[in-house]
């Protein structure tokens, strides 16, 4: 595979649509690849034909066509190792300051609640991926508790240089936690208020964190182009910390980790329903693997008839409207992709090939396409198809590619790929961002462990994945350009994360 | 004076006591009883068993006692001393019947011991069946990312099939196993194909499909946990275990 580096500052309208808000493209700018380099002639013709077709359809794709053509014409493209040439190219993140909230009243609970709130709000804004958050050491000492108390010049002056300031007051009394929060635009001296929120909840550590998540998501929604923040989302995962692999859940930031199932069997592949009410997963029993359904409302497993047919029934995936589940089943021979109603009725088969077909993921935007892993040609590769099993397209051009997750905007996949696979090859198993239309990709993890099961966050800005280093597997999250990688679990071994839809 | 008093006082008290006691009238002694009639008392007999509820193979202590007996016997044991203890190990529920004979007649007593049958001794035969299965059924191994039966595996399957043909009652599980590389989900699919390939080979060799249960373990239950090719090969297998 030949790789080529795009010129820095390269700007293509097609790429600008990779992720909403130009998030990726603005940050990427550093390295983009195509899978088209060393394709067989037939594939080239196919690809050219496809692109020519696209060109006819829209002149907008002309730059892309020219780009791909340039790849074909280029004889020897220089291969090079990955480099970070810089970040935030052409992208100015909003500089925001999160003031420590002002404690009000003498209630002995207040300091602990305030500490949890302040830390959570700060972390949420730092994690959001759209802010240049003023570091704690550069914050003014002031803790304005209300609009009349804030002296804006303190915050706009160096070293804070804040464009936006989040501040407010927190009190607890009589077992209630009351929080007032404001977001002010420091540059707008006339009418600086962007947001004012009030929260009144039970006074507890968990609720202090929850209120901070909600306030953070309000800020992120306002300043992040109308995309909902993820501070209130959950991550479901598999943990073996109690001895058997059970399904667990945690807040998006790794807090509040708790077990969902207590089956004592091996349970894998948790997939939360779009409405957060049910959890589909696979569990090993006497007759093999069954897709099972757990109701978070009832606190117990409920029936899913399509999931129990003997053999291997596993890797469930919800359609974005919550009405259907795709999964892999070996009930009719080699494991194939099947689709059933969310009730477990009407299972029907989509694929029929020799190698294993597993790990389906729906295009959440259209609901009419599925990407999945197939071993039909040998090593597993990523394919896409329509919901009727037609229009099968191979995405990856080689190596060992597994565990796809379809981006919320429908335009990209993320999956685990060992591109330099083979005897003596130096390849690692890394997480990739893959643009479906152009088949160009970006490697997100580099030279740290073996990485698998990436899953998009609903904001399309974050990806959660599992990383194995030295035989220990943990859940990590990162921004969708591979930056801000952070470990979320530390206890036992933890696998197969699944980010909730909201 | 002190010494004298110490002696005098008790003596005086003693005298007084004797005097008072001596004042009571002595009762007239009753006439001697008539001589008892010459009758020989009938013997008595008692027997107990401890415990009364045992599992076969356990011991029971019999304790018996008689009076006015010249001989005693217990059914199934024979003549015994007129009183004594004896340890017995009945294999079935037994009534220990004591018969005591004397000049005055005979007496009987019995003690019942209930014997539960021993716990079903299935362990030795099953172990040997399992051992026999293990000794005869060899696992087969696969190439990387493949579920096709290798030539060396075909020879193994032929031997396994002949064992299965001569043991038509043996039911077994085919487990599909994979090495650690790749995702859990893909490896469950691959393990399923490996186990199914082995099952198809057995069925082709005449083994009834109803005797076979197939489970893919993917990479969830490795035989070996090192990241070496030798270890990976150990994990790329169809493993056979007795189905119970």
Distance from CA of B146 to the nearest CA of A (A): 8
By CB neighbour count within 10 A (0-12 exposed, 13-18 middle, 19+ buried), where does A119 fall? middle
Residue numbers in B near A282 (CB within 8 A): 188
Pick from A288, A416, A496: CB nearest B216: A288
Interacting residues of A260 by C-beta distance below 8 A, sequence separation 6+ = A236, A246, A247, A248, A249, A270, A279, A294, A296
Pick from A268, A356, A403: CB nearest B189: A356
Band of pLDDT at residue B20, cut at 50, 70 and 90: low
Subunit contact B182:A314, Cβ cutoff 8 A: no
Distance from CA of B231 to the nearest CA of A (A): 15
Distance (Å, whole) CA A325 – CA A339: 6
Residue B27 pLDDT greater than 90, yes or no: no
Q: What is the pLDDT of residue A67?
A: 45
Subunit contact A268:B183, Cβ cutoff 8 A: no
Phi, psi angle pair for A156, to nearest 5°: -85, -20
Q: What is the pLDDT of residue A25?
A: 41
Residue B198 pLDDT greater than 90, yes or no: yes
Distance (Å, whole) CA A144 – CA B92: 90
Q: Say which residue, B120 or A255, is predicted with more confidence.
A: A255
- Quick one: average pLDDT of A431-441? 96
Instruction: Indicate whether this model's pTM tops 0.80.
Output: no
Share of chain A above pLDDT 90, in %: 77
Residue B100 CA to its chain's centroid (Å): 36
Q: What is the pLDDT of residue B116?
A: 83
Distance (Å, whole) CA A285 – CA A304: 15
Distance from CA of B236 to the nearest CA of A (A): 15
pLDDT tens for each residue of A455-467:
999 999 999 999 9
Residue B56 touches chain A, beta carbons under 8 Å: no
Q: What is the pLDDT of residue A100?
A: 96
The answer for B 192-211 residues in CB contact with A (under 8 A) is 192-193, 196
pLDDT tens for each residue of A150-196:
999 999 999 999 999 999 999 999 999 999 999 999 989 899 999 99
Residue numbers in A near B214 (CB within 8 A): 288, 311
Cross-strand pairs, B88: B60
Subunit contact A358:B184, Cβ cutoff 8 A: no
Distance from CA of B136 to the nearest CA of A (A): 24
Residue A495 touches chain B, beta carbons under 8 Å: yes
Residue numbers in A near B191 (CB within 8 A): 312
Band of pLDDT at residue A399, cut at 50, 70 and 90: very high
Cross-strand pairs, A178: A171, A200
Which H or E run contains B86?
A: strand B84-88
Distance (Å, whole) CA B160 – CA B242: 13
In the block, tokens 């919550």 appear at A322
ipTM of the complex: 0.82
Phi, psi angle pair for B52, to nearest 5°: -95, -10
Closest CA to A329 of A371, A357, A368, A293: A357
Closest CA to A356 of A377, A386, A385: A377
pLDDT tens for each residue of A39-79:
333 333 344 444 444 444 444 444 444 444 444 444 333 34
Band of pLDDT at residue A428, cut at 50, 70 and 90: confident
By CB neighbour count within 10 A (0-12 exposed, 13-18 middle, 19+ buried), where does A413 fall? buried
Residue A285 pLDDT greater than 50, yes or no: yes
**Sequential DSSP letters for A439-498:** -EEEE---SSSEEEEEEE-TTSSEEEEEEEETTEEEEEEEETTS-S-EE---SS-EEEEE
């Amino acid at each position: 595979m030949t790789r080529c580096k795009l010129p820095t500052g390269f700007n293509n309208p097609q790429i600008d649509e990779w992720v909403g808000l130009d998030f990726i493209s603005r940050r990427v700018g550093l390295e983009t690849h195509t899978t088209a380099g060393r394709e067989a002639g037939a594939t080239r013709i196919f690809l050219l034909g496809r692109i020519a077709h696209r060109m006819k359809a829209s002149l907008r794709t002309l730059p892309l066509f020219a780009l791909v053509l340039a790849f074909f014409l280029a004889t020897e493209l220089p291969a090079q190792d990955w480099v970070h040439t810089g970040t935030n190219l052409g992208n100015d993140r909003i500089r925001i300051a999160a003031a420590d909230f002002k404690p009000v009243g003498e209630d002995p609970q207040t300091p602990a609640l305030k500490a949890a709130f302040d830390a959570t709000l700060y972390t949420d804004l730092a994690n959001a991926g759209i802010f240049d958050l003023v570091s704690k050491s550069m914050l003014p000492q002031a803790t304005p508790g209300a609009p009349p108390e804030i002296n804006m010049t303190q915050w706009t002056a160096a070293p804070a240089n804040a464009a936006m300031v989040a501040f407010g007051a927190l009190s607890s009394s009589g077992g209630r936690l009351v929080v007032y929060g404001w977001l002010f635009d420091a540059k707008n001296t006339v009418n600086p208020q962007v947001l004012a929120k009030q929260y009144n909840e039970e006074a507890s550590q968990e609720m202090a964190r929850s209120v901070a998540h909600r306030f953070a998501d309000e800020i992120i929604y306002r300043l992040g182009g109308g995309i909902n923040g993820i501070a209130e989302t959950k991550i479901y995962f598999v943990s073996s910390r109690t001895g058997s692999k059970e399904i667990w859940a945690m807040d998006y930031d790794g807090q509040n980790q708790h077990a969902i199932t207590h089956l004592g069997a091996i349970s894998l592949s948790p997939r939360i329903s779009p409405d957060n009410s049910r959890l589909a997963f696979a569990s090993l029993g006497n007759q093999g693997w069954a897709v099972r359904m757990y109701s978070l409302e009832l606190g117990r497993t409920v029936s899913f008839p399509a999931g129990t047919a003997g053999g291997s029934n596993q890797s469930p995936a919800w359609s974005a409207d919550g009405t259907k589940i795709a999964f892999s089943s070996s009930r009719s021979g080699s494991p194939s992709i099947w689709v059933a109603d969310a009730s477990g009725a009407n299972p029907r088969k989509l694929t029929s090939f020799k190698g294993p077909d597993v790990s389906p993921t729906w295009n959440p935007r259209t609901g009419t396409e599925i990407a999945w892993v197939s071993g039909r040609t040998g090593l597993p590769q990523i394919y896409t198809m329509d919901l009727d099993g037609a229009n099968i397209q191979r995405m990856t051009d080689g190596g060992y590619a597994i565990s796809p997750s379809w981006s919320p905007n429908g335009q990209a996949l993320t999956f685990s790929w060992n591109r330099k696979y083979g005897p003596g090859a130096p390849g690692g198993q890394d997480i990739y961002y893959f643009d479906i239309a152009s088949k160009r990709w970006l490697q997100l993890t580099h030279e740290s462990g073996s990485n698998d099961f990436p899953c998009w966050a609903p904001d399309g800005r974050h990806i959660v994945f599992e990383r194995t280093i030295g035989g220990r597997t943990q859940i990590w999250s990162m921004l969708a350009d591979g930056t801000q990688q952070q470990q979320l679990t530390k206890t036992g071994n933890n696998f197969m994360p699944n980010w909730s839809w909201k | 004076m002190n010494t004298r008093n110490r002696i005098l006082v008790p003596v005086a008290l003693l005298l007084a006591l004797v005097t008072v006691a001596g004042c009571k009238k002595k009762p007239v002694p009753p006439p001697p009883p008539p001589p008892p009639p010459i009758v020989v008392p009938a013997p008595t007999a008692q027997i107990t068993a401890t415990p009364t509820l045992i599992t076969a193979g356990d011991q029971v202590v019999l304790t018996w006692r008689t009076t006015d007996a010249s001989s005693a016997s217990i059914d199934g044991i024979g003549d015994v001393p007129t009183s004594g203890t004896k340890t017995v190990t009945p294999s079935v529920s037994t009534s220990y019947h004591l018969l005591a004979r004397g000049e005055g007649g005979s007496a009987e007593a019995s003690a019942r011991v209930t014997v539960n049958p021993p716990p079903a001794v299935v362990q030795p035969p099953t172990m040997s069946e399992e051992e026999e299965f293990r000794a005869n059924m060899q696992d087969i191994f696969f190439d990387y990312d493949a579920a096709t039966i290798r030539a060396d595996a075909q020879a193994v399957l032929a031997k396994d099939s002949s064992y299965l043909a001569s043991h038509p009652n043996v039911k077994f599980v085919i487990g599909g196993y994979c090495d650690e590389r790749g995702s859990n989900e893909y490896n469950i699919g691959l393990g399923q194909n490996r186990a199914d390939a082995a099952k198809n080979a057995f069925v082709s060799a005449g083994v009834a499909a109803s005797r076979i249960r197939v489970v893919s373990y993917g990479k969830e239950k490795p035989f070996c946990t090192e990241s070496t090719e030798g270890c990976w090969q150990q994990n790329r297998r169809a493993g056979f275990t007795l189905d119970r």
